[in-house]
Chain A
């Protein structure tokens, strides 16, 4: 992978000139939205007050507001689509050619940017999200199952012998409606899917441990045991106290859990958690090693209000790839000492 300095050079030489064009397009989009909003408000007031003679304040602005929001959303979605499909994809082509970038985790439709394609793209991303949601839920990384899910900015490729994939995930669980509507934020952040260097057939998860951290070893452990008694994933106690304080391991086979989670791997998890502000969770499932690192940041998005020119926004791409590489190196995923090729 290219160094940070090399990436900055590529940014200055080849990406910044393209960003200038996008900055112009962003300004144009904002002007169009602003003008349409003004025009629709004026037309709205004229029609409602002078033609129809209605004096209620709600009718004076509501239609114009709805028109402006719909037009604004459509324009921004189209701009965002262009930004991701053309600019971010170009960044990968120039700086990280070994990786594939898919903005919505599905193969894109055409390239013309017409209204129909924007709509198709929107529908495709929703369909793609459904299959990704099923996979995310199957990992049992979190106790609640998500039913409102967004999957975007997928980067996939190979680092050495290891297949890697990282994406942004926003998972929620929405229940009830009206006044009883409840939204539970399950996870938002980076979701890694990596090839593991050992074969395994069972299901093991590592979740952040709140019970033991806040209630102490004895009570926390009892609570964890009670929590896992109805699931097929049972609590597995590990030997490293530093690891146990931060994480709880659940598995359908405790021997396999210990085969996968060696003392060295536990140390690496402690280091990973300490060096990240977000919560770290992990699952070993269907021959894949999933890592979820929570974050409040929504990466790879073009700004609506601010300029798209600064390097800081593109730096996110580099930082995600750096983290990906770090995970492969720290967990020694390219080391094939075991029977897996």
Chain B
């Protein structure tokens, strides 16, 4: 795809004698939200770690805006929310976001208020991470991923553990971001893919078994197709 912001080519990762990810290839373009489905242990988080530059692939490569995923140029263009948000329990929300902004080379004094505003964290600025609920931590993690306004967002189960109101807030934010960002959204929820994503990828035992437009899948019965592929031997 000519305008792809993210290109994964034969991306593979082996841990000891286990192929966690095996030759996965796909693209994500700016303005696109791509759902990344799969069982626990299918290799979704490992793929996202490689795309974020936190883990080297055993084979294959990933390019972010034309730069190798582990390079500084690529890492500057990626916002990553891991499955468990990487937060320091002793920091306040303000300090955590200032830290995230400084890592992206931004001025925390300008960036933190923007992130606070965008993720609706105004009331919680002075609270430490250790005292926040799981859902609020997830929102702080999302705000940290948005530091520096990176064009590619890798979101690993951003609505997991959130109450319905918080989940709706995050989904609305993802829709808003999708206008001018590329979003790869890992999730267990077919309904979330149906509501948010234009395309779905499905990973089974480290291999990509589906890469199709959600509208086309809806025509075939999205949930039945996904469940069928997940349960296939």
Q: Do A and B bind each other?
A: no
